[in-house]
Structure 1
Amino acid sequence: MNTLPADLLLAAGAGPVGAVTDFLREWPNMWPDLWLSTLDTVYMVVWATLVSLLVGLPLGVLLVTTDKGGLTPAPAVRAVLGAIVNIGRSLPFIVLMVAVLSLTRFLVGTTLGPTAAIVPLSIGAIPFFARLVETALREVDRGVIEAAHAMGTRRATIVGKVMLPEALPGLIASLVMTVVTLISYSAMAGAIGGGGLGDLAIREGYQRFNDHYLWATVILLVVIVQAVQSLGDLLVRRLSRR
């Protein structure tokens, strides 16, 4: 049976080699949109991470310190905080985005764009990060805490000078996990016009049946996640050796 020469197949765009060639040929044309969408994704993730850190870290500390056997036991407070965190974690992110549309519009004046997406991203990440902080703090040696307490150290000082420094590698790992989760959340935010790579994948890739955009956004998201995870792993290793 006669077969077409490989160069004719390549020219016709047949097979995986042709698909890759077409993708690479289209990359320069896609790059301006990909670059802007990447910047939007980074913008959303950075701000949502900062909000999650500022709110989730104290919340995680309170979950530990108000628990039975904590520095300031308060079962009622612990129960309320735990319920709030559990409710926040139980909602699928796509449902959460729709549920807080009114709050988003009230806070930023719109429900579209990267700035609007920061609101549901932060709300979704805060309880997630708080639980990770709680887990990291519970791994701190109780003997170190009890020794500091026996020396008459103030509770706030124990938290700031003993618990948090001792749990720092775990806290960094928790923050990295939160950032990776926010990257995936930011991609889902594109479903309701949140901008970023997810929005580009849906708008140009899915709705216009352009596989090149779909694959390009997947590649960029993988690269971003790998870079964040590698940097986080490096920091955790260095802090663990101290």
Structure 2
Amino acid sequence: MKNFGFEDLKLVDPPDLSRDSEAYGFAGQAREDILPNADEVTLDHLAANYHTVALTATTNEDSRKHVRFPFSTPAELSERLATVDAPTCLVFGREDVGLTNEELAQLDEICAIPASEEYPSLNLGQAATITLYELRNLALDENQLPDVELERADEPIVERLNDQFGEFLEAIDHPVEKRAKTGRLFRRLVGRAHPTDREARTLLGIFRRASAHLNFYGDADDAAAKNADAKDGAADAAASDAEN
């Protein structure tokens, strides 16, 4: 991080960071500023307050699988983030197992470093170095950054949009077993689109009204069906009495 001009370090469930720890020993000159100023947070906090980019070596080359696909390379990510005004957090996983599918499902975008198919995995330090090198133009010289072309909606609005889409799926009775996957597909789509505040609020309002509309008429239909069943039952009983 210090090599390439980044300084805001967030740690989820970190190891011991005391002066006698292994982490402190490896931090180099960053132990004087970046490491002691790091914030300990949760993954839920990052997902709720930042546009999140998950870094993973394992990807799916299949557009039907939206846990690890689609993904950007660090160079593609750098080019896109240079045009977006949004608080963004790069999320690296554990040294040994990376990020789980459940954790990836919470995050907005996937980024992967192109490497040999025979051995695509890199250790955490290598992955961070390559990624931050590609993103160095976002931190080292602000005067050379391109003009911001897009003002992305605040993260709470984007999260409300994702949540409202989940309620919409429930309102249309989307198959329960498909809702999580469909929700991830929508999150990935919104994550890549970087909607403006107006766009996000407009979609949020549409999904909210659609859900309310479907629930209202769904309740009305249920009531009508129950009334029809009751009338049919009464008619059957009357017919039976007449026969008797």
Give the TM-score, by structure 1 length.
Answer: 0.20
- Bigger RCO (CA 8 Å, 6+ sep): 1
Q: Which protein has the larger Cα radius of gyration, Structure 1 or Structure 2?
A: 2
**Between Structure 1 and Structure 2, which shows a larger proportion of strand residues?**
2
Give the TM-score, by structure 2 length.
Answer: 0.19
